[in-house]
Chains A and B, each alone.
Chain A
Amino acid sequence: MNWLPLSILAYLLLAAEPAARGLLRLGSADPGVWPMLAFVLVVHVALVASGQAALWTALIVGAAFDLLFVRVGPSTTFALVGPGAVGFVAAAYFVTTLRGMVARNSLFALAAVCVPAAAIAGLVAVVLLEVRSWFDPDMGPFPAGSELWARLGCALYTGATAFAVGWVIRLLSPLLGLGDGHGRRSGRFG
């Protein structure tokens, strides 16, 4: 896996993420539903790269993802790093355990795997945020139920957009050192 091209692609997807949220958002109520572009890259890497590389990619992209979205509490505005990163790692781990059963060079497989993986990432993030809200007054009220539903909606939306994003990623796969999508190893930590 070539880390430099992968980093550049991750940067482009992460930078496009906030604006794409505004453009592709569904629903007028808060929280709305939008696709997670960079997450598709994480799932693709988890499908075709070695387990360690997949988990590290998920961790780094997840942490960068967290840094892009500051939170406003009752008394302060703060960056919250962790929920996205841990959620992405959990999702990548899920994909690495599952990938032996799917056709990894198929866009349909990528889209299909994105949905449960994004749901897992969302679930982990909501659990961490809920726990944090118990003792951190700066979090303010945390509507865990509605946020979980929104994240499940995002998971479906991410799966739908994975066709387009995945197509671009697969075009660049040789450049990224990810082969043709068949992957080199099938073990979880291979």
Chain B
Amino acid sequence: MISRGPAHASRRRWLLLAVAGMVLLALLPARFTGFLNWFANRATDLTSPIHAPIHALASWIKPAAPALSPDSPQTAQLLAEIDQWKRQVFLLQDDLRRLRAQSAALQRLTDLNIQLATRQITAPVIGVQPDFAQTLLKVRAGSAHGVTDRAVAVFQAVHLVGQVRGVSDRTCMVLPLTDRGAGRLQAVIFTNERLAPRPGAAGGALDADSSPTTDSPIVADQLGGSRLVAALEPTGRGTLRGPVGPDDAPGATAATAIPEVGMIARLRDDRYPRDSWMLIVGVVERVDLQPSGRAVVTVRPMFVPDRLGELTLRLPADPAAP
């Protein structure tokens, strides 16, 4: 029989103490374990040099969106510019409706708010943290670059990716809008705006073998169509789903239309800065009619969040601004 001395017993005691400490840390509420964030940030810094190249390789193997057609780069660029301008038009249109319903004083204050300039920084996604609880994108831009908590992240300027949730000196974490932890999102659907129909497809409808991508063209037959409001919740399957109702915002025209597959959902949520409104949330890929007659839509973003190689963070131009 092997004889075990006091040193062995002491080591075993330390091990048991360490395990007990880990159990305690696992159960202590987050407000008591804030010091662990410092260690987590250092762990992130230490692993980033290995993490980033592997993620770059992964993004290359599984890109976020198909590359633009090499034979018509100018066309693709123009389509992207059209999307940007269209977003600006919708934003201005929404502001106009709202301003008409407000007093002169409020109009002035709101006008000042709308003029709040934003600064955009494009930063590489150096990793994805797909965990059981949520999928976070690790981005190489942190408080040293002016990134603040809850800053809005976008892809190709107009596609909403999510919000910053956790910032360290050099990196930050972005929680995608499709993650279950992101919570409910208010969106507006313009009934006259939809994906351009593909050649051979009927009425711009989506089919199972061709998901829309960020370079899919969007057409609006006329500006100022009726609007629907959707309260979208992440499904955990890369989509958002929720009931649709008429837009009851001041100045909005009552809509009796029901949403259709291919329509575009845009952000209009009080929890996001106003300058982020009208960013594209995704495209309606499914419409279910409930027995009550109410429509429930499923919206899918036009990119895959955990395949993004880089994204843009929208920050206040003046860091001291609220």
A56: chain B residues at CB < 8 Å are: 15
**Which residues, 126 to 155 on A, are CB-close (under 8 Å) to B?**
128-129, 131-132, 135-140, 142, 147, 150-151
| Given A22-B55, A52-B12, A64-B43, A59 and B18 contact (CB-CB distance below 8 Å) | yes
Decide if A70 touches B22 in the complex (CB within 8 Å).
Answer: no
Q: Is B130 an interface residue (CB 8 A)?
A: yes
Determine the distance from Cα of A150 to Cα of B180 in the docked complex, in whole angstroms: 15
Decide if A138 touches B31 in the complex (CB within 8 Å).
Answer: yes
Q: Is B321 an interface residue (CB 8 A)?
A: no
20 A-B pairs (CB sep. < 8 Å): A18-B55, A21-B128, A22-B306, A30-B179, A31-B130, A52-B12, A68-B129, A70-B37, A70-B166, A74-B183, A77-B165, A79-B33, A80-B30, A81-B22, A81-B33, A81-B36, A86-B19, A132-B29, A138-B30, A151-B132
Q: Is B70 an interface residue (CB 8 A)?
A: no
Q: Is B201 an interface residue (CB 8 A)?
A: no
User: Contact residue range for chain B?
Assistant: 35 or more
**Which residues, 284 to 312 on B, are CB-close (under 8 Å) to A?**
306-307
B58: chain A residues at CB < 8 Å are: 19, 22-23
| Given A187-B2, A189-B12, A16 and B132 contact (CB-CB distance below 8 Å) | no
Q: Is A20 an interface residue (CB 8 A)?
A: yes
Q: Chain B 19-44, CB within 8 Å of chain A: the 1/0 string?
A: 10011111101110110110110011
Surface stretch bound by A, among B88-96, B110-118, B134-142: B134-142
B166: chain A residues at CB < 8 Å are: 70, 72, 77
B55: chain A residues at CB < 8 Å are: 18-19, 22
